[in-house]
Chains A and B, each alone.
Chain A
Amino acid sequence: MTAQETARETAGGTAGDGSAGAPRRGVAARVVGRIGGGAVQAVLVLVALFWLVPTLGLLVASLRSNADNNSSGWWTVFTKPSQLTFSSYSALLDKPDFVDSFWNTVLITVPATVLVVLIASLAAYAFAWLEFPGRDWLFLVVVALLVVPVQVALVPVAKLYGRIEFGGFQMFGSITGVVLFHVAFGLPFAIFLLRNFFAAIPRDLLEAARMDGGSEWTIFRRVIFPLGGPAIASLGIFQFLWVWNDLLVSLVFADTDAQPMTKWLQSQMRQFTGNIDILAPGAFLSLIVPLAVFFAFQRYFVQGVLAGSVK
């Protein structure tokens, strides 16, 4: 218990009666508070364990052989650590399908993130600092699109992509198609988040730049983009995680050559118990990148959560 808390509690205890017996009540309140605090700590430790155990289970299961996984629980490694082996990982990394799907995930996620950041910041700048007829009305449309479920677009976009075909390139099934879909559905949140942030940039700063003769494009590049750093970071992380973690969009639009890790893993799911040696290390490899991103940039991530409701 920190000093302030103790102080606060003592204050609370004495403020209650204000009579001569106050100090003794204060001590009593402190004792009760300390025991209560201990109980709260114990509960929270339990809850934290509750939150960690499932992921730990996946990690340990990925480090055991299939035979072990099918005969005993992962927690038996604590008594028999000899079960631990990297064989599932090395077998998985020898599968060209899996390695391809990993690179596909990267090839989908990175462009989808970069494009959303670029396109949305341009649009957000226009919404925040340029004047044009129907601006507010158009922004309301963007806000309205925030909550549109992707399910609404699956059938028509599949039809649309099916018609786009030139020189041996087919939009349906391609990485490009998946990327564009993610960009489009990432835009409403991205524009919403960035516009709010850009709008908070002091007006004087912009007008000074305009008076100095900077073109809007220069102002955008030199003033807005750098000042928007934190918001752009939040947005980038969100979009990165959404796209990296997506299953539904790639299930519909990506063929086997373009499939990301999530879709490949899903295709191995039919034989769940038989394929634990593929699914457990695969799932763990697929979550290690988002987890690293999360821990590295958690400040921006939390800011993003706070900056607006998630789509």
Chain B
Amino acid sequence: MMAPREDTPPATAGAATGGAAATGPDAGPEVGPDASTGRRDGLRPPSWLAGSFLLPALVLLGFLVVYPIVYTVVRSLLDSSGGFTVDNYSGIFEGHSNLLAVRNTAIWVVVAPTLVTIVGLLFAVLTERIRWATAFKLVVFMPMAISFLASGVIFRLVYEQDPDKGVANAAVVAVHDAFSAKTAYPGAGPRAGAAQPLRAEGGAVVTSRPVTAGSTALLPLLRVKPEYLPAEPVPARAAAPPGPGRITGTVWFDFTRGGGGRPNAVDPSEAGLPGVRVQAVRDGKVVASATTRDDGTFTLTKVPAGPLTLRLPADNFTAAYGGAEWLGDTLITPAIIGAYLWVWSGFAMVLIAAGLAAIPRDALEAARVDGATEWQVFRRVTIPLLAPVLVVVLVTLVINVLKVFDLVFVIGGGDPNAGVLALQMWTESFGGGNDQGAGSAIAVLLFLLVLPAMLFNIRRLRRERK
């Protein structure tokens, strides 16, 4: 994973420095190894020199990283008047928005790294044999260079609720409408009152009196909104008398513009309603169905004898499907994780692809010669050999996910349903909360959560040194 290090200098620094102090401090950095100190000592620069090389880094790290860690730990245990308290910690798990942040952080840590690693692995494997793999990798890797703020703006646009504006819902609605019947007339219904030919039943509209095969039915609807009428309405027409075993009828908008129409009768200026689904029902079972034509007429065929009910099912009248509420209470965290996936998949893909390239071809060929299928080779040879890389990717992503702030801040727009600990820390200490004890406690909690990753890094380093 790291740069080659065959020539790592000896790690026994402590033992070697004893004799290295021969060159006095007055020698100055510009004075090289000279004859008086001898060749051997000349090759070992004095240790105070190392100090001067390290000084700027150590000063900055000390003042801006190490000291703040200590300060934050102490501050998290103090109340506003300086007394000792653990309330800052118990406070993390109290209150609606805090609990949501804890829950969401748990979701993030479990879901996001796993998802990103799986997607990265998939892409790395699929691109292995593709000629334009470099171009593909470049496209997927590109969001890594973009700020979370810009990605946030990008995904606010993608997740826009209105399917006419947000591309996500435009796609969802297009797919939905391709697979399910389109809503015809949201809000329309029968005339209110007793002794009407139609009545509402649940969301559907049914005939009040039984209908038998061979008869003609009139099904008048009201409250049809103008925007759902056909652009050029065809006048409704009374249906032709049916043959045996059939029912004909008309579904129309029983409303004459300017008044004067007769209720429940087809008047010349009244519009037929095309595309309404009509069902013949007996004992709750659909025995025949049809869809109305442009003039509102329909014909049900192969209708069994005996009394039936005609039903206009509810999906004729429910509101048009508007897509998912991406930024609503329940979907907002998954939606932001989706944006995170978009940003970070390239990272996982590139690391895993490098790991794949490093797997010796011999091992794979040997398995193939032994008669293993491609899947078996992948499952039993590739994945085990890739495991160290996958672990590094997962650990890196977990650390990163714990710190995710900008993306949630921008896409969530302050919605507590999107909140995570890293954002809550800022909100508590700076963004209006002004409670630095509470903020410090959250920061310490985040720090504790990355500690295992820190130990993992140190162990990895030690192992590689040996």
Contact = CB atoms under 8 A, between A and B. Distances in A.
A40 B147 contact: no
Given A5-B129, A152-B69, A265-B153, A184 B429 contact: no
A299 B49 CA distance: 35
B457 A151 contact: no
Contact of A262 (B72, B147, B342): B147
A286 B147 contact: yes
A269 B34 CA distance: 65
A156 B61 CA distance: 14
Contacts, number: 351
Interface in B1-41: 1-9, 11, 13-14, 16-17, 20, 29-34, 39
Interface residues of B, number: 119
Contacts of B374: 12
Interface stretch (A20-28, A80-88, A90-98, A116-124): A116-124
B4 A157 contact: no
A41 B131 CA distance: 10
Contacts of B20: 131
A300 B389 CA distance: 20
B142 A154 contact: no
Interface string A230-259: 010000000001001111100110000000
A12 B72 CA distance: 60
B148 interface: yes
A25 to B, nearest CB: 13
Given A148-B447, A200-B6, A308-B2, A286 B150 contact: yes
B155 A54 contact: yes
A294 B140 CA distance: 13
Question: What is the interface residue range for chain A against chain B?
Answer: 35 or more
Nearest to A285: B150
A54 B69 CA distance: 39
Interface stretch (B235-243, B254-262, B393-401): B393-401
A199 to B, nearest CB: 5
Q: Is the interface of A mostly helix, strand, loop or mixed?
A: helix
Interface string A150-191: 111111111110000000000000000000110111011001
Contacts of B400: 310
B389 to A, nearest CB: 10
Contacts of A12: 368, 374
B32 A214 contact: yes
29 contacts: A40-B130, A44-B126, A51-B139, A54-B342, A55-B143, A69-B165, A72-B164, A73-B165, A122-B56, A126-B53, A131-B44, A147-B399, A148-B65, A151-B403, A155-B75, A160-B67, A181-B64, A184-B60, A184-B61, A200-B8, A210-B43, A211-B39, A262-B149, A291-B142, A294-B142, A298-B138, A301-B145, A307-B1, A309-B399
Interface of B: 1-9, 11, 13-14, 16-17, 20, 29-34, 39, 42-45, 47, 49-51, 53-54, 56-58, 60-61, 63-69, 71-72, 75, 123, 126-127, 129-131, 135-136, 138-150, 153-158, 164-167, 170, 342, 347, 350-351, 354, 368-369, 371, 374, 392, 395-396, 399-400, 402-403, 405-406, 409-410, 413, 422, 425-426, 429-430, 436, 439-440, 442-444, 446-447, 450, 453-454, 457-458, 461
